[in-house]
């Protein structure tokens, strides 16, 4: 398949993740880490000059799924929130090759987790530096 043929498949996959988040929500508990990893990995790093419309629309679609993700976080168990924060977010936010929009979403998710856990998350200097 060429890149153009993959576009509908990519969109359908992201729409499928959005559907799962809407319908199953907090019952996805253990899968929330994998869903977030997937969304981070497929987010366009920069808009391709050959397909600017698709890349921009695809990035917007992922952003809306990440917004849905944030809304589900308050129903997730604290040990999963800790894993998302320490194992995924802290490392991913430090990755400067990520798109700025995606890094903003990562910080928003980190803030939500910190608010939910209310002091249950210990932040060291390195964690704080990565969030700044």
pLDDT, tens digit, 9 for 90 and up, residues 50-63: 556 777 788 889 99
What integer pLDDT is reported at residue 51 of this predicted model?
59
Is the CB of residue 88 less than 8 Å from the CB of residue 37? yes
Nearest CA to 54 among 94, 121, 2, 104? 2
pLDDT, tens digit, 9 for 90 and up, residues 61-85: 999 999 999 999 988 898 999 999 8
Distance separating alpha carbons of residues 62 and 52, to the nearest angstrom: 15
Which range (7-21, 32-46, 81-95, 111-125) has the least confidence? 111-125
For the whole model, what pTM was predicted?
A: 0.80
CA geometry: angle at 92 spanning 90 and 98, to 5°?
A: 145
The alpha carbons of the chain give a radius of gyration, in whole angstroms, of 15
> Mean pLDDT over all residues of the chain?
83
What integer pLDDT is reported at residue 5 of this predicted model?
66
């Amino acid at each position: 398949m060429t890149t153009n043929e993959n576009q509908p498949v990519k969109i359908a996959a992201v729409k499928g993740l959005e559907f799962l988040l809407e319908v199953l929500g907090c019952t996805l508990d253990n899968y929330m880490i994998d869903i977030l990893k997937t969304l981070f990995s497929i987010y366009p790093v920069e808009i391709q000059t050959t397909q600017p419309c698709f890349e921009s629309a695809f990035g917007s679609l992922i952003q809306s799924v990440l917004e849905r993700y944030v809304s589900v976080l308050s129903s997730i168990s604290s040990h999963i929130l800790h894993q998302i924060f320490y194992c995924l977010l802290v490392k991913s936010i430090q990755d400067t090759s990520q798109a700025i929009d995606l890094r903003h979403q990562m910080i928003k998710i980190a803030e939500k987790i910190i608010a939910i856990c209310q002091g249950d998350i210990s932040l060291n200097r390195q964690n704080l530096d990565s969030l700044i």
